[in-house]
Amino acid sequence: MALPDWTVYLPVLCFASVCGGFYICRVFKCARISAWKNSPIAKLMARTEKPLFWIAYSLYTRTKLGYIFHKRQMRKARERYPAGHSRTQPTIINGIKIIPVPILSDNYSYVVIDTASNMAVVVDPADPQPDVGFSNIVQFVQINRILNEKDHSGGNRALKRRYRSCRVYGNAMDNIPGLTHPLSDQDTIDFGTRLRFRAFYTPGHTVGHIIYLPDGRALGGPSSLFSGDLVFLSGCGRMFEGNASTMLSSLDTVGSLNDDTLLWPGHEYAEDNLLFAAEVEPCNVVQKQKLLWVLQQRGQRLCTCPSTLAEEKQYNPFLRSHSQDLHRALGLQQKQDEDWTSYRARVLEELRRRKDIYKDR
């Protein structure tokens, strides 16, 4: 999740609110995303994630003000990218069609259609407007990974109004908009005649983060992992509501899945993530090859997903906390009284710290 540009001015807003003033029009008009990313405040918040970050994050995820600005972000993204930020193609696995839907400035929602039963599952519908051909769909459900972030669940209520019988799945730990079917770790959900999704509770980015794995065995093909803000191509999410040990446990859940699993992340971060990974592990040959391919794709505004978990385990540093090569590259060594899991959590924490202050993020 990328926080909106208005977060630069949150200290001013909070002070004005306490004093009885709410003079925000001029502030909002002059705010720009580039100014936010390059501002000293943003860099400070990236390093510390407190206290300014938490003011911004809490207002964005938990208040009406955050939803207002989410709608503003959607409007600006539609104006800037009328056809979406990336060009995508559907993937078809034995009658199951997976359609990446580019929304906002770098998010992906996904539509999974069982063509045999005419049932559509929409994953993380932040924007209800993109037309992906729902007119012939008989049944329609939504599942959400990130419950309190508007860039993943902001379109729930609008889609539910449009499709009255729509069911909304997600974690009950957070206040997900329009939730009808709360889920817990390892719950399974059957859609149509062949779609079975398994939910995995993976906190770290947010306290209620869930990832979803449609089982590929029933389809005679690979499984697909909808990973939200947990894992991206060569990256992982920031630890907004968790620590390194919690995030490591969630990443190990991903690492335990089959190597042929297809990874469908919540954002188009591939180029930036691989450039960072190249700084961390400059001798990783597989990573260099993937970066060349990603640069070609992004040069044509083409989507870079899916990758496979087999690939990710070779070049994604956040899935390689066990790697001696990575340890040497980071200049870290296991302490004499430090157990292996604690050491790996420290490696992950150092990686995330470096990524948070990386010049292009």
DSSP string, 28-86: HHH--HHHHHHSHHHHHHHHH--SHHHHHHHHHHHSHHHHHHHHHHHHHHHHH-TT-SS
Query: Is residue 316 over pLDDT 80?
Result: yes
pTM of the model: 0.78
> Which of 130, 197, 120 shows the shortest CA–CA distance to 158?
130
Residue 48: predicted pLDDT = 44
Residue 152: predicted pLDDT = 41
Q: State both tokens at 248.
A: 């490591």
Q: What percent of the chain has pLDDT over 70?
A: 70
Residue 25: exposure state from Cβ atoms within 10 A (0-12, 13-18, ≥19): exposed
Residue 186: which pLDDT band, with cuts at 50, 70 and 90?
A: very high
Residue 304: exposure state from Cβ atoms within 10 A (0-12, 13-18, ≥19): buried
- How are strands ordered across the β-sheet holding 195-201? 188-191, 195-201, 210-214, 224-228, 262-265, 307-308
Q: CA quadruple 269, 272, 274, 280: dihedral positive or negative?
A: negative
Place of tokens 């932040």: 126
- Give tens-digit pLDDT for 237-246: 999 888 999 9
* Cα–Cα distance measured from residue 203 to residue 209, given in angstroms and rounded to the nearest whole number: 5
Query: Is residue 308 over pLDDT 80?
Result: yes
Residue 6: which pLDDT band, with cuts at 50, 70 and 90?
A: very low
Query: Is residue 72 over pLDDT 70?
Result: yes
Distances (CA, A) of 350 to 306, 312, 343, 353: 27, 19, 11, 5
Q: What is the mean pLDDT of residues 284-296?
A: 98
* Residues 80-115 as b or e (16 or more Cβ within 10 Å = b): ebeebbbebeebebeebebbbbbbbbbbbbbbbbbe
DSSP conformational letter for 318: G
Residue 161: predicted pLDDT = 66
Alpha helices in the chain (DSSP H): 10-18, 25-30, 33-38, 40-48, 52-62, 64-80, 150-153, 156-162, 244-255, 270-280, 285-299, 309-315, 324-330, 340-356
> Domains of the chain by range and CATH?
5-62 (no CATH), 91-356 (3.60.15.10)
* Cα–Cα distance measured from residue 130 to residue 133, given in angstroms and rounded to the nearest whole number: 9
Residue 19: predicted pLDDT = 42
Q: State both tokens at 28.
A: 């909002």
Q: CA quadruple 256, 260, 265, 270: dihedral positive or negative?
A: positive
Query: Is residue 87 over pLDDT 50?
Result: yes
Distances (CA, A) of 305 to 99, 127, 182, 211, 330: 11, 20, 28, 16, 28
User: Is the preceding peptide bond at 125 cis, omega within 30 degrees of 0?
Assistant: no
Residue 296: predicted pLDDT = 98
Residue 8: predicted pLDDT = 44
Q: State both tokens at 86.
A: 């990336």
- Calculate the average pLDDT of the chain: 79
- Give tens-digit pLDDT for 236-278: 999 988 899 999 999 999 999 999 999 999 999 999 999 999 9
Residue 74: predicted pLDDT = 74
Q: State both tokens at 341.
A: 């899991």
Choice between 265 and 146, residue whose per-residue pLDDT is larger:
265
Choice between 165 and 86, residue whose per-residue pLDDT is larger:
86
Q: Decide if 78 contacts 64 (C-beta within 8 A).
A: no
